[in-house]
Each structure stands twice: as structure tokens, then as C-alpha cells.
Amino acid sequence: MLDIKDLQARIGETEILRGLTLNVKAGEVHAIMGPNGSGKSTLAQVVAGHEDYEVTGGSVQFKGKDLLELAPEERAREGIFLGFQYPVEIPGVNNAYLLKAAVNAKRQHQGLDEIDAFEFLKLAREKMALLEMDPKFLNRGVNEGFSGGEKKRNEILQMAMLEPDLAILDETDSGLDIDALKAVANGVNALRSPDRAIILVTHYQRLLDYIEPDFVHVLSAGRIIRSGDKSLALELEKKGYEWVREAANA
Amino acid sequence: MSEPAFNHEALLQAVRDLPVDSLTASRRDAANLFVARGFPTVRDEDWKYTDLSNVIEISQQSLQVASAPAAIDEDLLRQTQANLDAHWIVIANGKVLEQHSPGTNIPGVQSGSLQKTDLAIDEPLADLNLALLRDGLKLDICAEFAPDKPLGLLFIDTVENAVASTHARVNISLERNANARIVEAHVSSGPAQHYSNCVLHLDLAEGAVCEYLRLQDRATNHSQTARLNVSLKRDSSLHHGSFDLGGRLTRNDLNVAIQGRNATARFNGLYIVADGQHVDNHTKVDHLVGPAISQQEYRGVLSGHCRAVWNGKAIVHKGADGTDATQANHNLLLSDAAEIDAKPELEIDADDVKCAHGTTVGQLDERALFYLRARGISKPDAKRILTRAFAATIVNTSPISEAHEFLGGQVEERLRTIDDGRQS
């Protein structure tokens, strides 16, 4: 589904990704771990199409298409979802309005009619129940005055409504208390399917207790320096990132 | 820049030519005062960014043209009244149109003509207004006033081929514990240039409550200066909303004097300024006593080659302890040729006060743009959504809630014009 080869990217003059290769197939859950500054969030932003990052080499194929040719909105409509580490507050834009606009942008791309208002509400309420979100959040400004946990639940709500082929969740666990973490994990697990891939970008192993990955990759200085199964995450938790770096350099 | 010459003799003659009535002496005094000072110029601190040359030219020419005022644009009148439901009082080309003014005859409102004692405002344009005033209206609103819909003041100016200017003045008093909702609308049409000079006075007696919505949607070849002086007595409360969507040059002066303890003045404004337009909002709040609250937030959306000015002054006078004054002004600049001059001013002469102010000038938030695009929304749509959200904050918090839908529609229409202009 997602095929990243030797990807190099920078922001301004700073090289961040230095030859990253990653292959993600439908049905798989990958965890990308790594110390601060290793390029985890940059990878998520580059795949989503953030224009501050300049891709200087390598390729990214998504469902056989050259992803780097597409604008961020086209990537989203093709089925990529980025769950933001810092969801943006947009006062004056109603949460329901954004959800509906996003769903309809995708439906239009797929040649479908706009979602029926009743159908939309029913679907939104269903997904909100799963995430233990109060339906009144639909009528608030997007993320406006939301707590950290509410913002992250709202990201997962958007993901659940959009049913992406590939979800990249950037530090979705950061700043969550245990109840919010469980709710978010429930939302993500509900979306796991043989047709869908999920990439979890995380600093800590904690999230992986609730969402079990098929693969774990360690990112350091813009490259994947080690890959393994979920036991790698546990080993990292015990030994720290320094251990992998030393092992990689040896 | 030198101002166009204004023929003071022609003004004095025009004043002498007006029909003799109870205001005649006041007009002549005002004309003499005006002649002594003349129009404000950009050398005056309060007029630094607003050049009245065009207004002076229109004033000059309209004194020379002896033609009768044009017939009122009935379509525009009907359309405005259909859009905003109110007990209307129509002031057309500076004269109250009795047949269109049922608002003067509703229970709880006493209407009459302005008297000499109602007129003192020490300001050149107010002097000019009084000197050429044909019909001054006075409205006293009693405590029993409780209509089903707002009281409406509709200022409509129509010109044909002759340049014209209009001078209108209304004093509104809310008696003790009166509660009034008022809509003030300004519309105009016609090919020739026009200048409207409006002076309004709003007095809130003890415990009076007023929601006041002002909407200016004049033709973009017409200019206006408008002054609203407000005085607030003890426990009174004003919620004022101001929308500038049209006009060529628009200058608003909103002066609020807080004269009684526990008074509240809350006023918000939105200006949408497109190519060739100029909108200047000067607000001034005098906190004469405390505790009292004043809160203001103005927002502007600017596009094309245009200019907007926001100058918000709060003066906390000696002894006005317990004052809580906040000012905010936020501007969205959609083009490089748009200019905003934003200036908050605070003068504090009391000890126990809480004052805050903030202004921002900028483009759309890039983070929010990317966030929306990452949800599949196209860049132009994301820009449209964010621009509307920026303006909606003021629409949604403005007074007279039943007008929000119409206001939102007007704002949308203006923004769509801007969108179209940007695409071409």
C-alpha cells in the first residue's frame, strides 16, 4: 500500500530524513519509534504533504501512485489520514461542518453523492459513542478550547468518519491520561481491517500495550536503524534508544 | 497634500437659505464655529490616516447645486425593510419620511424634533451637520416600551446625476430601566457622488439596557462620516455591534462616556474592505466612574488596494477605580496592497483597574490551512472557510440575534465578491 524508498527530506537547510525506506501492506500496523528529533513527525508530515518540507530524494508510492505529485488534499481524498500531534484550534468553524466537508470531499472524489444529513448525524453519533465523546462536541468550534485528550479523541473521530486506507497517527498517545488512551486505542482498534494499514508514530511503548503492532521500527537520524516485531518495543523500553544506536553503529 | 478649497461663504449662504425654524439660530452658530475650524485634516492626530479631500469636494459641489433631492430609491427601501424586520423610521436624504416611519408611533416611544439643548457636540463635522440640518429627530424610549421587534432607523440616500450631501441627526434617550433593541441601517444608491454626515446620540438612564446593531452597506461610490455619542448612567448596559460592508470612505466615531457605576459597554465591529474602499473606526471610552466594564472587539477583512483604520482609546479617569476595559482588534490581510493602521490606546489615571488590549494583523493561519487540506478540503475552499470563520466570530456575538442570519448572508456576499476578485 505504502512504499517509501530512500526518502530524503529537509526543512530549510536542515536535513531530517536521510534515506528512509519503509514498506507497509494492507492489514498491517506499524509502529515507528525513536528519540526526539529522529524524524518521526517529519515522516508523518511528508507523507501527508506538508509544504514546509522539501523532498530532496527518494520516492513514495501509495496504492501504486506517486504520492509526492499530489497536493495534501488529494492525498487525503486518496485515503491517507494524518492524526496530528498538535491538532489545530479553528474557532468559528463548527466541528460537524468540518467533518461533513471532509467526508463529502472524499465522497466527491469517489464519484459518490454528498452524505445525507440524517445519515451523517447517525454515523457521527455512533463513532462518538465508541470514543466516549459527548455529542455536543459536534457543535463546538474545531478543537476550540478542547483539552489535550479531547483533541486527540477528535482526531480519531475524524479518522473513524473518513475510514482511510492508511492512517498515520502522530504521537496520538502524548498527553493522554489512561482513560483517554483506552478510548483512543478502542477507536483505532475498531478500524483495524485487512484492507487498511496503520502507522503509529510514538515515543513510548505504552500505546502499544493497547494497539498491538505487527512491526516496530526504530528511527534515528532520519533512517530506520532497526526493525522487528512488538518485542522490539519492549526491549527499547527496557534498554533505551542508546542501545539500538550503539548496536546500529557497531 | 493640500486639501481642496472649501468656500465658507457658500456654506454660510446655504445656511441662511434654509427655512426659518426653531433651529435657525443654532444652525448659524454652528456654521460660524465650523468656518472657524474647517474640515479636519490629516495633520490632526485623529484624522492622520483618513483624508477627507473627496468629502470636501462633494460638500463643496453639493452646496453649489441648487437642485432638489433625488426621488428615493423605493426598491432599495423595500428590500432593506424586507431583509431586516423592525418598526422602521426612515430618514431619506436627511428628512424623516412620515409615511414610511411607523416606528415613531409605537407605544413607549415619544418622538419629536431636536431642540437647541440637544445639540452640543464639540467637533467640526458635528458643527457642519448641525449647520445644514433640515430635520433633527428625537426619540424618547420609556420603560414600558416592549415591542415584538426592534426599532429601526433606516438612513437611505439616493442621488441621480447631481452630487449631493446629507446631514442627519437623531438623539435617542432610554429612560430609567427602559429596554430597547435598535437597528440602524445605512444604504444608498445612484451614480453621482454622495456624502452622508450622521450624528447620533444615545443616552441610557439608570438601569436601561440597549442592544444596538448598526449596518452600513452604502454604494461603493458614496462616503460617510458617522458619529455616535453614548452616555451610560448607573447600572445601564449597552451591547453595540457595527458592520461596515459598503461605502467608498467610511469614518465612524463611537464615543462612550461611562457616567454611572456598574455600567457595561460591550461593542464589537466587523469591516470588510475591498479594492478602493477606506474604513476608519475610531472608538473612545471615557471611564469617568467605576466600577464599570467596557469590552470591544473589532475585526477586519481587507483585500485588494484598500485601507482600514482602527483606533481604540480607553481613558480611565481619576477615581474610576474598578474599571475593567478590554480592547481587541484583529485584521486579516488578503492582499499585499491592503493597509491597516491599528492603534489601541490606554490612558489610566486610576489605581485599581484591569485593562488589556491586543491587536493582530496577518494572513490566514498556515497551520489551520494545512489541517483542513489534510482532511481533503481544497486550498481555495480552506481559505474561504477560514476567512468566513474569522468574520463569523463577530456576527455570532453581535446584538439582535434574529438579524444574525441576514448579517451572515450579507457578510458571505461581500466575502464572495472578494473571492471572485482574488481569482481573477
Q: From residue B401, give the alpha-carbon distance in Å to each of A18, A109, B208, B395, B397.
A: 57, 38, 19, 9, 8
Each residue's pLDDT tens digit, B21-52: 989 999 999 999 999 999 999 999 999 999 99
Size of interface A-B (CB pairs under 8 A): 69
Share above pLDDT 90 across residues of chain B, in percent, rounded to a whole number: 85
Q: Look at residues B187, B189, B184, B243 and name the one whose alpha carbon lies nearest to residue B210.
A: B184
Please tell me the predicted confidence (pLDDT) of residue A245: 78
Nearest by CB: B375 against A51, A102, A141? A102
Q: Which residues of B fall within a CB distance of 8 Å from A49?
A: 373-374
Span B57-76, mean pLDDT?
Answer: 87
**B86 Cα to chain A: minimum distance (Å):** 28
Please tell me the predicted confidence (pLDDT) of residue B313: 95
Q: Do A90 and B386 touch (CB under 8 A)?
A: yes
**Cα–chain center distance at A193:** 16
Which strands make up the sheet holding B194-204, listed edge to edge? Answer: B109-113, B136-141, B164-174, B194-204, B222-232, B249-258, B278-287, B307-316, B339-348
Per the document, the length of chain B is: 424
Q: Which residues of A fall within a CB distance of 8 Å from B370?
A: 50-51, 72
Domains, chain A, ranges and CATH?
2-249 (3.40.50.300)
Each residue's pLDDT tens digit, B203-255: 999 999 999 999 999 999 999 999 999 999 999 999 999 999 999 999 999 99
Q: Which residues of A fall within a CB distance of 8 Å from B379?
A: 71, 73
Distant-in-sequence, close-in-space partners of B288: CB < 8 Å, separation ≥ 6: B257, B258, B259, B317, B320
Q: Element (H or E) spanning A116, and its range? A: none
* Alpha-helix runs per DSSP H in B311-356: none
Q: Do B376 and A84 touch (CB under 8 A)?
A: no
Least trusted range by pLDDT, from A104-108, B22-26, B68-72, B357-361: B68-72
Asked whether B84 and B399 are in contact (CB, 8 A), the reply is no
Helices A178-191/A117-130 angle, 10° precision? 130
- Outline where DSSP puts E strands in B23-150: 87-92, 95-96, 109-113, 136-141
Q: Do A88 and B368 touch (CB under 8 A)?
A: yes
pLDDT mean for each 10 residues of chain A (250 residues)? 95 93 96 90 95 95 95 97 95 92 95 94 93 90 92 93 95 87 90 94 88 93 91 85 76
Span B312-336, mean pLDDT?
Answer: 95
Residue in A with minimal Cα distance to B371 = A88
Each residue's pLDDT tens digit, B256-311: 999 999 999 999 999 999 999 999 999 999 999 999 999 999 999 999 999 999 99
Asked whether B269 and B412 are in contact (CB, 8 A), the reply is no
First to last CA, chain A: 33
Nearest by CB: A77 against B370, B371, B376? B376
Asked whether B325 and B346 are in contact (CB, 8 A), the reply is yes
Q: Which residues of A fall within a CB distance of 8 Å from B380?
A: none
Beta bridge partners of A32: A201, A217
Q: What is the DSSP letter of B159?
A: -
Please tell me the predicted confidence (pLDDT) of residue B213: 98
Identity of the residue numbered A169: L
Share above pLDDT 70 across residues of chain B, in percent, rounded to a whole number: 97
Identity of the residue numbered B329: N
pLDDT band at B3 (very low <50, low <70, confident <90, very high): low
Q: Look at residues B357, B348, B298 and name the one whose alpha carbon lies nearest to residue B323.
A: B348
Each residue's pLDDT tens digit, A173-187: 888 888 889 888 988
ipTM of predicted assembly, 2 dp: 0.95
Please tell me the predicted confidence (pLDDT) of residue B421: 64
pLDDT band at B66 (very low <50, low <70, confident <90, very high): low
Please tell me the predicted confidence (pLDDT) of residue B226: 98
Identity of the residue numbered A129: A
Q: Which residues of B fall within a CB distance of 8 Å from A102?
A: 375-377
Q: Do B375 and A49 touch (CB under 8 A)?
A: no
Q: Do A93 and B376 touch (CB under 8 A)?
A: no
Task: Say yes or no to pLDDT of B1 above 60.
Answer: no
CA dist., res. B406 & res. B175, Å (int)? 30
CA dist., res. A53 & res. A39, Å (int)? 12
Q: Do B389 and A91 touch (CB under 8 A)?
A: yes
Q: Which residues of B fall within a CB distance of 8 Å from A90?
A: 368, 371-372, 386, 389
Share above pLDDT 90 across residues of chain A, in percent, rounded to a whole number: 74
Q: Do A71 and B389 touch (CB under 8 A)?
A: no
CA dist., res. A153 & res. A138, Å (int)? 12
CA dist., res. B257 & res. B23, Å (int)? 26
- Higher pLDDT: A233 or B181? It is B181
Please tell me the predicted confidence (pLDDT) of residue A250: 62
Please tell me the predicted confidence (pLDDT) of residue A132: 86
- Outline where DSSP puts E strands in B98-248: 109-113, 136-141, 151-158, 164-174, 179-189, 194-204, 209-217, 222-232, 237-244
